[in-house]
Structure 1
Amino acid sequence: MSNFSRTQRIRKEVVWTDGGVVAAQHRKAAEVGAAVLAAGGYAMDAAVATSFAVGVVEPWMSGPMGGGMMTLWRAGEQRAETIEFGMRAPAGLDVADYPLEPGRQAADLFPWTRVRDDRNIYGATSVAVPGTVAGMALAHRRYGTRDWGDLLAPAVALAEEGMLLDWYSSLLIASAARQLAQDPDAAALFLADGQWPDIAGWTTASAARLDQRVHAATLRRLADHGAQDFYHGDIGRMLVDDVRAKGGSLSMEDLRSYQPEARAPRTVRYRDAVIHAPSGLSAGAELVTALQQMQAAFDPGDAPSAASYAALASGLGDAYRDRLAHAGDTGESPRAPACTTSFSVVDRHGNMVNVTQTLLSMFGSHVVSGQTGMLLNNGIMWFDPEQGRPNSLAPGKRCLMNVCPTVGQVGDRMFAIGASGGRKILPAVANLVSFMVDFGMDLEQAFHTPRIDASAATGTVMDEDLPQDVAQALAALGPVKTAKRTVHPYAFAVPAGVMRQAGRNCGATEIMSPWGDAVCEADV
């Protein structure tokens, strides 16, 4: 039972255009990327600009203090690639500083055994080595055509202005106010009198803005001095000083030794399509596993059916069970290698990229670096705090991420998709791939079609708009719950994608996201 309307219907229009498109979880960030395309930039130029812009207007989801991955498509070379910029545990981390409380479960995204005081979830002890800046710098060196400083300039301007505190941002800040109040710098940035945000009025259009001038100054220095300042210079020293002053173990050596990687993606055939899933410690291996199982499990019809949803749920369940048992940074070649943001770009030449970047939890560690003005990640939570497992917490270890930026080609259509939402990311991407490959949907149809989530591996959550025969087919596999597609909290992850067909492009974002939008270069 719920309090929500059963008659309300929400849709987002998907517009085809000859020019480039940016689809992001915040319209302001999408506009920044689209303006780069309109000025003659390519997909990667727009992606770099969008990455830093979205860290300003959606600071609790991602930003320079986080990490992630991108999967890109080079149209001229007909080649896909993944750039990995995930987080790492600091080399000076001591596992003994994370004592377990047996019999109790962690309080956030993952069902780990709880660590005393949630030290792996909140505070400076949860901060991992960030990789976003290094990842964007590597992508820019390889494929950028515009000046680095020019691409960061729009983010600087947005931070100087300060993000608008509308009803949605006020809701999200209020939901984390108790934890934000524990850190003086976070409380000063997000709260009023250390307690609640300045919430936008119920019936008024006026609202306050976040004071992000310190964030702007850090971005300006990053624009002027380049990414090396983050890992070798003053920005890095400010970050390390702040983290260590608050009890964390991050060091300058951690920053100096950090390196992103460009690697071949996991490329597989799925029916008549070619799918490029991300490499490394992502959910790419599980996407491949699920698709291979689905291909053998059902024959596509005209539309998604009870059989197709059941095959999807079964494939995802098996993939997740394998992931939980075997995936992690073991020091060898990896099997698989919330609270996140994802955006996709396609330019007029057909180059594509999906970037999925994150602080991990919403508001990350709930700690702000006072000298840089930025929220810090809580990447340590990605590790299983119990020892003796592939993904167990250890110093210097790579984080096992849920991200799944994916590029695919089916017939004369190309698409780049990804999502935010922690463990819900993989099911969302698998749903969308199936809709577009198995049933010939375009982006608009796929994004409006009800989805399922099987990320718990022990049961399925299905959109309450799906018919009863789907519920019955899923029930044969295990427990089934229904959920409504709403604005907050999200039951099914928050995707963003672009598509290209016959030289024309379009983009789409999660229909329930009040900020998400696809912006054409002609619209800026």
Structure 2
Amino acid sequence: MTSSLSRTQVTRKVVVETPHGVVASQHRLAAEAGAEVLKAGGDAVDAAVACSFVVGVLEPWMSGPAGGGAAVHWRADTGEATAINFGMRSPKGLRVEDFPLSGEGVAGDLFPWERVVEDRNVQGAKAIAVPGTVDGLGRAHERWGRMPWAELLAPAVEHARRGLLVDWYAALIIASTTRELAKDPDAAALFLEDGRWPTISGWTALAEKRLDQSRMADSLDALAQGGARSFYDGDLAATMARDVQDKGGYLSTDDLAGYRAWMGAARRVAYRDAAFHVMPGLTAGPTFARTMEVLERADLASPPDAFSAYAEALRTAYRERLGTMGDTGEVPEAPGCTTHFSVVDRDGNMVAHTQTLLSIFGSRVVSPSTGLLMNNGIMWFDPVQGRPNSLASNKACLMNVCPVVGETGPRRFAFGASGGRKIVSAVAQLSSFVADHGMTLDEAFHHPRIDVSGGPAVIADEALPADVLDRLAAEGPVKTTRRTVLPYAFACPAGVLREDGRNAGCTEIMSPWGDAVSEDR
């Protein structure tokens, strides 16, 4: 099929370079909120808290308080990397028998699981897992934060009071999931107009359409005043659990009260003359580590050699990931659509933070009392029993998130991405671009990539040189495509880099909202 996209359009993003702190986020206003915190004297962790809650308001279909994720924190004073796993868990009351296989083949969402009757593991209240994002942020803030918690949530409350502006991109995202959102009355009331996708702001200078996020604003305000644990132990927890159970889900106050994010040492991955600090346990950190282990033995001298090696390393790592990883119930190293942001402050502290609802719009269920869009973390589990990642109650989800802090020579960077199973491919290649090929942040983020994430074919950016594409095609099936605004054929990364006391930041060049912002902007 011939694409109708322009063949001459060129898209670039300016890389911010400054001695001051930088926040790189998939939404510019969230990056600005984090940068303002840095300007006020906050730590990178304070900026991460502010950025997290604002992006959850302004990009609610990707993440929010009712989701989960993971982060790697680098502390300049100690030279230590700490991992925080705030992944979701299946509720204690989940009944596996409620998820019978339909016999209709493979499900059509993010994972190649067998399809479940009525897609109950994908959409609806039964797909909701115990959220972890707020406790993960709370743990980080308790340890390293300088500014008051309530002050850090204030920008998110303000944005929610104003409501998300429905520009062309927001309208396009909502339109892509209109049928599913219409199935939940509260999701339909929040995102749709008379059951249809909303009117777009901006066709004329006078037009403006905003979502009514006032209930979310009230919840965030209560959370600001009550502290992070009030999300799990207070009235907010009780009303959220009741809403989910009223819609047929399992989430209980006991699930919420018992949730604790895991914090411990990041896994150090030695690689040639570089080192990477990644998540241990049930994340994509071990998959990244295995990718780099295979890649270290390869010859990357020429572009065809390098991309052939990337493809083979990623194929090897994904075969092992999909066949062996899961929460078996034993005590592991760590317990148990997405957004990523990275932060570096003027002292060199870094945060690589990934948070998610899993699918776009999560479970497509809104808690009416709290105004929060709920996750569909249950989809992370294989519905077929007897496998490492099989669905069960009170079990940690196997996440795709892959925040990384790397160091090579005088340079240190914090990378990560959104994009489900595509994340590891993007983060591994960006890390290699910097560590193996000495690319600047600008060069790395603008360089075309491939994606290998468990499927039979290599997905390759058609902008790659012809000899690279020919080499990949000689070794297996290849599909070429372009980097576009929607859909994303590749993951959507964001990153910061520090060298000789200067900081830089950049986001995916095709992300229309993403930007890196300096505190001295």
TM-score normalised per structure 2: 0.98
Partner of 2:111: 110
Residue 142 of structure 1 is matched in structure 2 by 143
C-alpha deviation, 1:334, in angstroms? 4.4
Distance in structure 1 (CA, Å) of the matches to 2:498 and 2:492: 21
Counterpart of 1:18? 19
2:367 matched to 1:369?
yes
1:207 is displaced (CA, Å) by: 2.4
* 8 Å contact from structure 2 (residues 16, 517) kept in 1: no
Does residue 390 in structure 1 map to residue 388 in structure 2? yes
What's the counterpart of residue 192 of structure 1?
A: 193
Compute the displacement of 1:201 (Å).
Answer: 5.1
How does 1:334-413 map onto structure 2 within 5 Å? 334=332, 339-413=337-411
Distance in structure 2 (CA, Å) of the matches to 1:336 and 1:205:
52
1:475-494 → structure 2 map (5 Å cutoff): 475-494=473-492
Counterpart amino acid of residue 271 in structure 1 = R
Residue in 1 aligned with 2:47? Answer: 46
**Deviation for aligned residue 1:336:** 9.5
User: Which residue of the other structure, out of 441, 444, 450, is the alignment partner of 1:443?
Assistant: 441
Pairwise mapping of residues 89-488 of structure 1 onto structure 2 (< 5 A)?
89-200=90-201, 202=203, 204=205, 206-300=207-301, 305-334=303-332, 339-488=337-486
Native 8 Å contact 2:76 2:349 kept in 1: yes
CA distance in 2, matches of 1:9, 1:328: 42
Alpha-carbon deviations, 1:245-272, whole Å to 9, x = none? 0000111110111110112112121111
Q: Counterpart of 1:418 in 2: which secondary structure?
A: strand
- Under a length normalisation based on structure 1, what TM-score does the superposition of the two structures give? 0.97
Q: Report if aligned partners of 2:485, 2:512 keep a CA contact under 8 Å in 1.
A: yes
User: Could you tell me which residue of structure 2 aligns to residue 3 of structure 1?
Assistant: 4
For structure 1, the residue ranges without an aligned partner over 5 or more in a row are none
Q: Would the alpha carbon gap of residues 103 and 184 (structure 1) be closer, same or farther in structure 2, given more than 3 Å must change?
A: closer
| 8 Å Cα contact 1:61-1:363 kept in structure 2 | yes
Paired amino acid for 2:131: P
- CA drift of 1:354 comes to 0.8
Q: CA deviation at 1:198?
A: 1.9
CA distance in 1 between partners of 2:495 and 2:128 (Å): 30
The residue matched to 1:395 in structure 2 has which SS?
coil
1:295 to partner: Cα distance: 1.2
Secondary structure of the corresponding residue to residue 69 of structure 2: strand
- Deviation per CA, 1:109-146: give whole Å up to 9, x if none: 11100000000000001000000011010011111111
Alignment CA distance shift 1:49-1:336 (3 Å)? closer
Superposed displacement of residue 2, structure 1: 1.0
**Counterpart secondary structure, 1:490:** coil
Shift of 1:472: 2.1
Counterpart CA distance in 2 for 1:380 and 1:442 is 39
Q: Which amino acid aligns with 2:312?
A: S
The CA distance in 1 between the partners of 2:160 and 2:182, in whole Å, is 22
Check the 8 A contact 2:24/2:506 in 1, yes or no.
Answer: yes
Contact 2:90 2:396 in 1 (8 A): yes
Structure 1 SS opposite 2:413: strand
Deviation digits for residues 2-22 of structure 1 (CA, Å, limit 9, x no counterpart): 111111100001121011000
- How far did 1:162 drift? 0.7
Distance 1:476 1:315 in 2: 17
Q: Give the conservation status (yes or no) of the 8 Å contact 1:137–1:227.
A: yes
Name the aligned partner's letter for residue 162 of structure 1.
G
User: Is 1:29 matched with 2:33?
Assistant: no
Q: State the Cα deviation string for residues 382-415 of structure 1 (Å, max 9, x = none).
A: 0000000000000000000000000000110000
1:345–1:354: 8 Å Cα contact kept in structure 2? yes
Deviation of 1:478 (Å): 1.9
* Counterpart pick for 2:495 among 485, 497, 500: 497
Conserved? CA contact 2:262–2:334, under 8 Å = no
Number of equivalences: 519
Per-residue CA shift, 1:154-189, capped at 9, x if unaligned?
Answer: 100010011111000000001110000000000000
Q: Which region of structure 1 is more displaced relative to structure 2, 60-69 or 206-215?
A: 206-215
User: How many Å separate the matches in 2 of 1:205 and 1:507?
Assistant: 34
What SS class does the counterpart of residue 270 from structure 2 fall into? strand
What is aligned with 1:521?
519
Tell me which amino acid in the other structure corresponds to 2:79: Q
CA positional deviation for 1:228: 2.0
Rounded Cα–Cα distance in structure 2 between residues aligned with 1:205 and 1:434: 47
